[in-house]
Amino acid sequence: MQTHNLGYPRIGSRRELKKASEQYWAGKLSAEQLMTTGKEIRLFNWRLQKDAGIDLIPVGDFSFYDQVLDTSLMVGAIPTRYHTLMQEKQLKDVDLLFAMARGYQKDGFDITAMEMTKWFDTNYHYIVAEFVANQTFSLFSNKLVNEVREAKEAGIPAKPVLLGPVSYLLLGKEKEPGFHRLELIKRLLPVYLEVLKKLDDAGVYYVQLDEPCLALDLTEAERQVFVKTYREIKAKFPDLHIILASYFECYGNNLSTVLELPVQILHLDLVRCPSQLDDILVNASFVNSATRLSLGVVDGRNIWKNDFQQSVHLINKAVAKIGRERILIAPSCSLLHSPCDLDLESDEKVLTPEMKQWMSFANQKIREVVTLKQLTSGEPGAATDKAWRENVAATNSRRTSALIHKVVVKQRVAAIAAGDARRTHEFAERKLRQRELLKLPAFPTTTIGSFPQTPEVRNVRARLKKGEISPAEYDAFVEKETEAAIRWQESIGIDVLVHGEFERNDMVEYFGEQLDGFVFTSNGWVQSYGSRCVKPPVIFGDVSRPRPMTVRWSGYAQSLTKKWVKGMLTGPVTILQWSFVRNDQPRSETCAQIALAIRDEVVDLEKAGIRVIQIDEPAIREGLPLRKENWKEYLDWAVRAFRISASGVEDATQVHTHMCYSEFNDIIDSIADMDADVITIECSRSQMELLEAFAEFKYPNEIGPGVYDIHSPRVPSKMEMVALMEKARAVVPADQLWVNPDCGLKTRAWPETKAALVAMVEAAKELREAVPAGAR
């Protein structure tokens, strides 16, 4: 029996990669220093896993931005708009990587970034590969091979990890009509074979190929691409041990195809789908083969301690059927989605010992994997026995703790009636009352909520936490920043203002800190995209709102101006999806509890004079189960939760929602059923392609398609935004359109923010001149 890991967090236990990358972008760190930071993180991660007792250690899971983008560079899939930049600037590989991820706007160049979207049903974002009909591939980056050599020199038992060729194509996007991206496999596969040859020459024995698209609904034609691809790999490298890894779901209808693939090791996510183990163990052909199983029994996506009793049962079931020598123990998926190290949580005021004993981060999960091997492979010992007893005690403690269950909360959820999830009247009537009250022009302008969180803002918040300034001093600072933001928005002519959210650390954490049933960590950071890291709250128990959360700052901002100020809230599904969620009750139940808490806040905002309220739900799409057969159940409770949160106000109060980096075509009816008065969506990177779903559906409510990409420092021109809105006007009536950025501006700097928003307001003015009077 062996142990292995599918991937380790790349950000560093103290977010060293984030800090180094941002310093490099700011010109405060050299490329050599950035490379050194990357190498230090890799070596630290490898040695940690080796010292813990992991037999096969992943290499290639580290990236300066994103593993899918690394794959595009490896195979030379570099969009043509970057070619001149490459030739004239002779960029280092890392600079090209950053230009493709973030855009490039200097030295006379103005190049847009590649599209970004969610990685399956997680909150991680990947850079979408772009393909054209005459796409060519060639080996461009030797990053993986170089890192394997680096690991071997350090004495690490390296197991290279790379995104499999079929999933790489499926996760990409055709940038022109007339072909399907899977048709490119014949051109792509030779590059993969070249990489595998280099790995083989380097003395590699195991290679992990991630094919997460095997967890999706696939056509028979798509399945056959997998079969042909892996047969060719096997024919070229018969002695290379391929670990085929899929995760986040069962193989489902793809299982028979998967069992045909000529791979030596098959990974199973037994956290998301424990039942698939039985499906495989009853397959006589598999049982009688030599194929080994990687049992993903340790949750790679949540922070709860493994239940050893449950995992040992699953492992022993497999051992009884096929023997220990055909078993590998592993996490369910890459630990990219897990914080680094629970040992860094030393502040008992933040995380009490009782709660801490229930948790496990990446470092601890690695050790759980090793302990499970010891428990099931006849390696008893005092340390193993102690670990077993402690695990059983912690598991029992969590089941019975009085901290978790609140009768009043459960009773309120049980009493939710159908009317609690409906506004008083339909949108057509609400629209009239809202326009009478709000009196906004055609193409009204607004932003999505947050303004730049400058070093000064973060520093003042940190000083408050350290007790270096008083709450009154902190409030005075936030008041000053809020007033400055209101005055500046007034000065450039934005129609619906925001208060800027200077008091908020994170759009989920801020609310979790004020809700019962949540607890927080000091260093529980995970990567969202690039250098963007988030510290998700932990939902450990029943959720309720003890007091108003946002009324103080929204009310203050509204008192400063005669223009309307939006109240800014995070919706129940997003709070759920972007938290580490308790796994002892259905997610739908927890979401309903959060929805009632947000509903109470919405009602209080309206009472305070806030008549435009935004309830952000960027995570609705990412919460979808990977298989369509399970969509309806999820969408029913998710949409209901949003409607519960939004339906306690009068018709004249306008409810907005915001969604980002999502494909909407196949869930557009559910989005319409949310019944938000205004929805703002990311559209700029896709050049308004995402708006087509709303147009084809004839979406009845109002829409704000984002006109510039806030995830890039690039500042678009007024005419660029006008052109995007003209595309929007071509498919959506002007009467329904708003003008806004793609997302919140928290991560941007003020100079680029101001330049872009001034251009956005000017674009809206030009659009109004082209619209007949009274169009709104």
pLDDT at 584 over 70: yes
Looking at residues 670-679, what average pLDDT do you find?
95
Is the separation of the CB atoms in 619 and 574 below 8 Å? yes
- The per-residue pLDDT for 126 is 97
Looking at residues 201-224, what average pLDDT do you find?
97
User: Cα–Cα distances in Å, from 160 out to 152, 157, 239, 600, 684?
Assistant: 11, 10, 15, 50, 36
- The per-residue pLDDT for 686 is 62
Dist CA 104 CA 100 (whole Å): 8
pLDDT at 379 over 80: no
Residue 244: other Cβ atoms inside 10 A: 23
pLDDT at 581 over 60: yes
Strand partners, 566: 612
Looking at residues 486-512, what average pLDDT do you find?
95
Dist CA 59 CA 149 (whole Å): 10
Dist CA 438 CA 655 (whole Å): 12
- The per-residue pLDDT for 773 is 53
pLDDT at 684 over 80: no
Q: How many residues does the chain have?
A: 776
Q: What share of the chain is helix, strand, coil (3-state, %, to 5)?
A: 50, 15, 35
Who wins on pLDDT, 401 or 490?
A: 490
User: Cα–Cα distances in Å, from 347 out to 332, 353, 520?
Assistant: 29, 9, 11
Looking at residues 182-209, what average pLDDT do you find?
98
Query: If residue 188 lies in a helix (H) or strand (E), which one and from where to where?
Result: helix 185-201
- The per-residue pLDDT for 400 is 87
Q: Which of 250-254, 300-304, 725-729 has the lowest mean pLDDT?
A: 725-729
User: Cα–Cα distances in Å, from 35 out to 23, 41, 372?
Assistant: 13, 10, 36
Strand partners, 543: none
- The per-residue pLDDT for 776 is 56
Dist CA 199 CA 90 (whole Å): 28
Who wins on pLDDT, 68 or 724?
A: 68
Looking at residues 671-697, what average pLDDT do you find?
80
Indicate the angle between helix axes 587-607 and 631-646, nearest 10 degrees.
20
Is the separation of the CB atoms in 543 and 592 below 8 Å? no
Is the separation of the CB atoms in 226 and 166 below 8 Å? yes
pLDDT at 371 over 90: yes
- The per-residue pLDDT for 707 is 86
Nearest Cα neighbor of 596 from 571, 613, 622 is 571
Residue 487: other Cβ atoms inside 10 A: 12
Dist CA 687 CA 710 (whole Å): 14
Tokens found for residue 360: 């496990």
- The per-residue pLDDT for 489 is 98
> How confident is the model over 166-190, as pLDDT tens digits?
999 999 999 999 999 999 999 999 9
Tokens found for residue 518: 């949540």
- The per-residue pLDDT for 88 is 87
> Residues with Cβ < 8 Å from 608, sequence gap 6 or more?
551, 554, 555, 558
Tokens found for residue 743: 């997302």
User: Cα–Cα distances in Å, from 422 out to 414, 448, 582?
Assistant: 17, 25, 28
Secondary structure, 3-state, 351-419: CCHHHHCCECCHHHHHHHHHHHHHHHCCCCCHHHHHHHHHHHHHHHHHHHCCCCCCHHHHHHHHCCCHH
pLDDT band (50, 70, 90) for residue 774:
very low
pLDDT band (50, 70, 90) for residue 89:
confident
- Give the DSSP letter of residue 689: G
Tokens found for residue 26: 């700011």
pLDDT at 317 over 70: yes
Is the separation of the CB atoms in 603 and 193 below 8 Å? no
> How confident is the model over 421-461, as pLDDT tens digits?
999 999 999 999 999 999 999 999 999 989 999 999 999 99
- Give the DSSP letter of residue 420: G
Is the separation of the CB atoms in 725 and 707 below 8 Å? yes
- The per-residue pLDDT for 260 is 95
Dihedral angle of Cα 222, 224, 225, 230, to the nearest 10 degrees: 140
Q: What angle do CA 311, 537, 400 make, to 5 degrees?
A: 50
Query: If residue 753 lies in a helix (H) or strand (E), which one and from where to where?
Result: helix 750-769
425 annotated active-site: no
- The per-residue pLDDT for 678 is 96
- The one catalytic residue among 125, 267, 656, 711: 711
Average pLDDT for the chain: 94
Looking at residues 268-272, what average pLDDT do you find?
97
What percent of the chain has a predicted confidence (pLDDT) above 70?
A: 98
Which phi and psi angles does 620 have, rounded to 5°? -55, -50
Looking at residues 603-613, what average pLDDT do you find?
98
pLDDT band (50, 70, 90) for residue 123:
confident
Strand 564-570 vs strand 612-616: parallel, antiparallel, or unpaired?
Answer: parallel
